[in-house]
Amino acid sequence: MAEQLSGERMSGFSLVDEKIVKNILSRLPALTFANAACVNKCWYKICSQILKRPKLASALSLNPSLHDAVKEVIEQVLSEPIRPHFAIACISKEFNLKVTHGLIIEKLGSRIPIITNVSSGIIGVDGIANELVEKKWETTSGPNIQESDTAETGLVLLVGFLPGLKIGTIPLFQPIQEPNTMVENFVMNILNYTAAVSDCAAPVGIIMFGDKTTDMKPIVAKMDCAIPEETIIVGDASADFIFRTGDNSLNQLLHSCCFQAVALVFARDRYKPEGLGEIQFHVTKSTGVLPFGPNLEAVGVVLRDSERSCLIARLEGHNSIIASGAILNEIEQQFREEDMFADLFIGVTKETQRTSDSGILTPGKSLYFYKVIGRGEYYFTVNGIGIKPGDSFLFYQSDSDTASSSCDNAFNKLLALKAELKSKNHFRLSNLADKDDKEEVLGGFIFSCYDRDQSFIEESFGDSYPFCDIFPTAPVAGLFCRGEIGRGPKSLMNEEYDDETCPRCCVHVYSTIYLVMSYLPPPLEGQSP
- DSSP labels, 62-94: --SBHHHHHHHHHHHHTSS----SEEEEEE-TT
Give the chain's mean pLDDT.
Answer: 85
Number of H helices, E strands in the chain: 12, 23
Burial pattern 54-85, b for ≥16 Cβ within 10 A else e, equals bbbbbbbbbbbbbeebbebbbebbbeebbbbb
Backbone angles phi, psi at 108, to 5 degrees: -95, -15
Mean pLDDT of 391-417: 92
C-alpha triplet 103, 105, 109: angle, nearest 5°: 135
DSSP string computed for 16-40: S-HHHHHHHHTTS-HHHHHHHTTS-
Cα dihedral 53→443→92→85 (10° resolution): 20
Mean pLDDT of 489-497: 64
Instruction: Supply the DSSP symbol for 231.
Output: S
- Binned at pLDDT 50, 70 and 90, residue 176 comes out as low
Tell me if 463 sits within 8 A of 448, measured CB to CB. Answer: yes
pLDDT at residue 452, as a whole number? 85
> What is the rounded CA–CA span in Å between residue 313 and residue 321?
6
Strands 308-315 and 289-303, by their bridges, are antiparallel
> What is the rounded CA–CA span in Å between residue 231 and residue 392?
28
DSSP string computed for 440-501: SEEEEEEEEETT--HHHH-STTTTTHHHHTTSTTS-EEEEEESSEEEE--TTTTT---S-TT
- Binned at pLDDT 50, 70 and 90, residue 4 comes out as very low
Instruction: Supply the DSSP symbol for 113.
Output: -
Least confident range of 53-62, 116-125, 317-326, 382-391: 317-326
pLDDT at residue 147, as a whole number? 43
Least confident range of 74-83, 178-187, 421-430: 421-430
> What is the rounded CA–CA span in Å between residue 494 and residue 135?
27
Mean pLDDT of 32-45: 83
Mean pLDDT of 454-471: 80
Say whether pLDDT at 143 is over 80. no
Note the pTM of the prediction, 2 decimals: 0.90
Least confident range of 43-47, 56-60, 174-178: 174-178
Tell me if 78 sits within 8 A of 34, measured CB to CB. Answer: no
Q: Per-residue pLDDT tens for 438-460?
A: 568 999 999 999 998 766 666 67
- Binned at pLDDT 50, 70 and 90, residue 53 comes out as confident
Mean pLDDT of 207-231: 93
Least confident range of 152-166, 444-458, 515-529: 515-529
Beta strands in 245-391 (DSSP E): 259-268, 278-286, 289-303, 308-315, 344-355, 361-375, 380-383
pLDDT at residue 43, as a whole number? 82
Q: Decide: helix, strand or coil at residue 101.
A: helix
Closest-CA residue to 68 (of 140, 144, 127, 143): 127
pLDDT at residue 387, as a whole number? 94
Of residues 331 and 458, more confidently modeled: 331
- Binned at pLDDT 50, 70 and 90, residue 498 comes out as very low
Mean pLDDT of 331-343: 78
Say whether pLDDT at 51 is over 90. no
In sequence order, what are the beta bridge partners of 264?
Answer: 169, 207
pLDDT at residue 21, as a whole number? 80
| Helix, strand, coil share (%) of the chain residues, nearest 5 | 30, 35, 40
Amino acid at 365: K
Domain architecture of the chain: domains with CATH: 2-50 (no CATH), 278-287+401-520 (no CATH), 289-398 (2.40.30)
Mean pLDDT of 110-128: 93
Rg (CA), the chain: 25
Amino acid at 335: F
Burial pattern 330-362, b for ≥16 Cβ within 10 A else e, equals ebeeeeeeeeeebbbbbbbbbebebbeeeeeee
Q: Per-residue pLDDT tens for 502-515?
A: 788 999 999 999 99
Contacts of 210 (CB under 8 A, 6+ apart): 216, 219, 220, 235, 236, 237, 238, 239, 260, 261, 483, 485
Q: Per-residue pLDDT tens for 240-280?
A: 999 998 776 665 565 667 899 999 999 999 998 888 889 99
pLDDT at residue 503, as a whole number? 85
Q: Is 297 exposed, middle or buried (0-12, 13-18, 19+ CB in 10 A)?
A: middle
pLDDT at residue 211, as a whole number? 94
> What is the rounded CA–CA span in Å between residue 46 and residue 21?
8
Mean pLDDT of 147-174: 85
Alpha carbon of 92 to those of 16, 31, 133, 144, 191: distances in Å? 48, 28, 14, 9, 33
pLDDT at residue 3, as a whole number? 46
> What is the rounded CA–CA span in Å between residue 454 and residue 461?
8
Least confident range of 41-45, 257-261, 371-375, 525-529: 525-529
Least confident range of 78-87, 276-285, 348-357: 348-357
- Binned at pLDDT 50, 70 and 90, residue 13 comes out as low
In sequence order, what are the beta bridge partners of 480?
Answer: 121, 448
pLDDT at residue 323, as a whole number? 87
pLDDT at residue 145, as a whole number? 41
Strands 114-118 and 232-244, by their bridges, are antiparallel
